[in-house]
Amino acid sequence: MLNWTLPAGCRGLIFDCDGTLVDSMPLHYHAWVTVLRRYNLGFTEARFYQWAGVPVEEIVRRLALEQGLTVDARRIAAERDAYFHSLPTSALRPVAAVVDIARRFHRRLPLAVATGSTRASAEASLRALGILEWFDAVVSSQEAGRPKPAPDVFLLAAERIAVAPGHCVAFEDGEAGLQAARAAGMHVVDIRPWLPH
């Protein structure tokens, strides 16, 4: 178990979902490649990790623009999400170090999830791990306004758990999410060193 200490004055914990609480990134990338292939859109694994935390529809728009294609980004995003949800959740694993922290502070502090994915996708992943009920709020950037790296989703998550952003710790694995949490004025933990290599 990781020996992580709560910073002084922090009264709420906010977690990204994919890649932070749930080791779902390989499954997400598989869904991306499978669906984008139908539309002749390429998406490298390096770019996928670089854009961690960016909403699905926005990623489709960026890829189409870069590759000179005109597509229905909303439809492709919905198709990608549907395909991801059709995959067996048995392939999902917890990010042990982060889930241990959530377990330790569950019922002691308010906990929230701030995801660049849809709320339905995040809730399905958390439910598959049996930890959904630990969180007082699950907030997606779609309901918050601007996507990460804007701070909106973290600010709304803090509001939902009634803790001032400056008194929250945010856990993230993606550059866009780390920028978003910093912009929200939160104490930020980059969990990537805790990931198994």
Name which of 195, 171, 194 is nearest 182 in CA terms.
171
Instruction: With a cut of 60, say whether residue 1 has pLDDT above it.
Output: no
In the block, which residue shows the tokens 């980004």?
A: 73
C-alpha angle 78-73-23 in degrees, rounded to nearest 5: 50
Mean pLDDT value of segment 70-75: 96
Q: Which helix (H) or strand (E) holds 129?
A: helix 119-129
The per-residue pLDDT for 161 is 98
Q: Residues 137, 168: contact at Cβ < 8 Å?
A: no
- 20-69 pLDDT per residue, tens: 999 998 999 999 999 999 999 999 999 998 888 788 899 999 999 999 99
- 109-161 pLDDT per residue, tens: 999 999 988 898 899 899 999 999 999 999 998 899 898 999 999 999 999 99
The per-residue pLDDT for 196 is 74
36 vs 69: CA distance, rounded Å: 12
Name which of 11, 179, 22 is nearest 95 in CA terms.
22
Catalytic-labelled residue, pool 16, 23, 81, 173: 16
66 vs 32: CA distance, rounded Å: 16
Kindly list the distances between the CA atom of residue 64 and the CA atoms of 8, 38, 48, in Å, as whole numbers in the listed order: 45, 13, 14
Q: Is 81 a catalytic residue?
A: no
Which residues share a beta bridge with 190? Answer: 172
User: Peptide bond preceding 149: is omega within 30 degrees of 0, i.e. cis?
Assistant: yes
Q: What are phi and psi of 184, to 5 degrees?
A: -80, -10
The per-residue pLDDT for 96 is 95
Residue 11's CB is within 10 A of a number of other CB atoms, namely: 15
Rounded to the nearest 10 degrees, how much is the dihedral formed by the CA atoms of 190, 191, 194, 195? -120
184 vs 113: CA distance, rounded Å: 15
